[in-house]
Structure 1
């Protein structure tokens, strides 16, 4: 069961196979097919792919908590158990959002989710609960640091060991797969497709930072925050741009969504003190629909993620068209 309080900011992400950091979902073992109800198996796979966590881990949590909703113990189908946990994935009501059933039209905090599109985040509904659990695992380190994510889910290492063992049984490979280390050869097509040589230099630096941790105020070389990696990437190409997200937003020339190119910046209304006119989070476009970002301390290492479908996008900018950067480029070409 969940034994921790959580913030209202929830991560999102994808798990599509591509060279920019995605991977194919693991095949289900015969044990998984026979043990997991078909409805649940479909939900584990669907939400694991949607959010970007291992479906086998998600399913193993469901097995360990309530035997995929089949348990008749208190709190599984109604009410709460002795600790205040509810539903097939055993959320504390406080971590779900304060109530067991929450209209999505209201202000929603925690992991309350609407997985079946009926407008209600229902902790007892498998579609809603499994989506919420996937978000929590993602928020706390999965797919890279699965053990940390599971420890946050239920703060006991024996629990982590048990869930991992179940996940191994559910995977046809018999293993819990984690994303591979950054493969430099995967960067080549992105860099070669850059619209200019200078953008290629910017991308090459940024992509080389994958796997490094997030650090608020960090500008490298060992850790970065969201605007710090962008500042350092442009600096690596010999260009000076503002350091912080709040400064970077008005600096670049605005670009319409759909016209963005690699090297452009994508801004989000996320973080303290931000608003639709004052975004607090930024990523760098590396290809259509993909960006590299240093998201937050608990969101895992710097990685390539998807920005399409992230509902809090404020807009896109192109720093290379700022007059000051244009002058810098002219000087670089004259050297």
Structure 2
């Protein structure tokens, strides 16, 4: 009886101690856990100093409230510096206040239109584009009406954020700005404006994003189809390489790409040797997410017969399943590889265009 009482007292004491530890430690655990977004999907909070930079008095007084809200919202959502976005808007049209041709209608002498001054050809071929249309360029739907309107500030600012992201921002923001308007004096001017808009007086460049931060890459995808391809491919990170593997537990280099395209309802060749001639060739510097990058690597391969392939996920970066000894599937840099052969775009193969058409119009 005394032994039982002793054991009971010991158990009660241990339970109390454990409860005390949880009360003390749990707030710290909660602070270190990933955040969760409201639609029920789990996602790491990828917000960093580049996106939460405080607004200076200059920015508050110079940027219209509705524009400032859009710059901050889409800067955070896509993963680029909001003050760089705002500086582009200032440099291009004074946040839409310019009365010059092309800001509210038509185009200017260079063919640019809207508050962020997109070339109509770059936007999607016309000023108002249904965003589900394949290959719409940077046409974006910021206000949820299904149309990418180059004159609509919400659409144009989202499109600009995607363009900057796709071309190197936030890490290589100068490169991204140079692609936006190919002049280094323009890059310098935009950066100077951005410094004035930030309370710190700086353009913060974050460290390389953590691998968990997929949402900005997917948001920056050129089309919803490419977003599906990227979402599937990025979800395979950490799985092992297996020669001939097409999942779901392991893949080889072409197998993970084949499976990613299949997840979007598209059929492409299974092997690297088949994928290389299948896609339309893309000039270096014009590649975009969803494209394939090929390498002269592996036995029996050559400059005309590449043996390794990766999936472009952002400028300079690819997802690849490299080899058994190279570790699991991961995102790596393709720009540093010396044996790179070239890029292709499977989505422009006529057979894939037919598949896309049938996906959009099942009755055909």
Q: 1:240 to 1:107 in 2, by over 3 A?
A: closer
Q: Which runs of 5+ in 2 are unaligned?
A: 1-42, 213-231, 276-289, 292-309, 320-329, 332-364
Runs of 4+ in 1 over 3 A off after TM superposition: 14-18, 21-24, 105-108, 265-268, 274-282, 300-305
Partner Cα separation in structure 1 for residue 315 and residue 44 of structure 2: 15
Give the TM-score normalised by structure 2. Answer: 0.51
1:298 is displaced (CA, Å) by 5.4
Q: 1:152 to 1:15 in 2, by over 3 A?
A: farther
Tell me the residue number matched to 1:3: none
Say yes or no: does 1:241 pair with 2:268: no
DSSP 3-state at the match of 1:61 = helix
Assess if the C-alpha contact under 8 Å between 2:51 and 2:75 holds in 1.
Answer: no
Assess if the C-alpha contact under 8 Å between 2:51 and 2:79 holds in 1.
Answer: no
DSSP 3-state at the match of 1:132 = helix
Q: Report which of the two structures shows the higher radius of gyration computed on alpha carbons.
A: 2
Say yes or no: does 1:46 pair with 2:73: yes
Task: Provide, for residues 63-102 of structure 1, a one-character-per-residue CA deviation record: whole Å limited to 9, x for no partner.
Answer: 0000000000000000000000000000000000000011
Give the TM-score normalised by structure 1. Answer: 0.55
1:25 is displaced (CA, Å) by 1.7
Task: Provide, for residues 286-307 of structure 1, a one-character-per-residue CA deviation record: whole Å limited to 9, x for no partner.
Answer: xxxxxxxx863852457999xx
Assess if the C-alpha contact under 8 Å between 2:49 and 2:204 holds in 1.
Answer: no
Tell me the residue number matched to 1:126: 153
Higher relative contact order, chain-length normalized (CA < 8 Å, sep 6+): 1
Partner Cα separation in structure 1 for residue 72 and residue 117 of structure 2: 19
**Map of 1:9-24 to 2, 5 A cutoff?**
16-17=45-46, 24=51
Q: 1:72 to 1:48 in 2, by over 3 A?
A: same
**Map of 1:282-293 to 2, 5 A cutoff?**
none
**Map of 1:257-296 to 2, 5 A cutoff?**
268-269=260-261, 276=266, 296=312
Tell me the residue number matched to 1:204: none
1:179 is displaced (CA, Å) by 1.2
Tell me the residue number matched to 2:349: none
Tell me the residue number matched to 2:315: 299
Alpha-carbon RMSD across the aligned residues, in angstroms, is: 3.7
2:52 to 25, 28, 32: 25
Task: Provide, for residues 186-231 of structure 1, a one-character-per-residue CA deviation record: whole Å limited to 9, x for no partner.
Answer: 99xx9xxxxxxxxxxxxxxxxxxxxxxxxxxxxxxxxxxx99xx89
Total equivalences in the alignment: 215
Tell me the residue number matched to 2:334: none
More helix by share: 2
Say yes or no: does 1:164 pair with 2:191: yes
1:268 is displaced (CA, Å) by 3.3
Say yes or no: does 1:111 pair with 2:138: yes
Q: 1:178 to 1:301 in 2, by over 3 A?
A: farther
**Map of 1:309-328 to 2, 5 A cutoff?**
none
DSSP 3-state at the match of 2:148 = strand
**Map of 1:58-207 to 2, 5 A cutoff?**
58-180=85-207
Task: Provide, for residues 115-172 of structure 1, a one-character-per-residue CA deviation record: whole Å limited to 9, x for no partner.
Answer: 0001111000000000000000000000000000000000000000000011111111
Q: Which runs of 5+ in 1 are unaligned?
A: 1-13, 191-225, 255-264, 283-293, 306-335
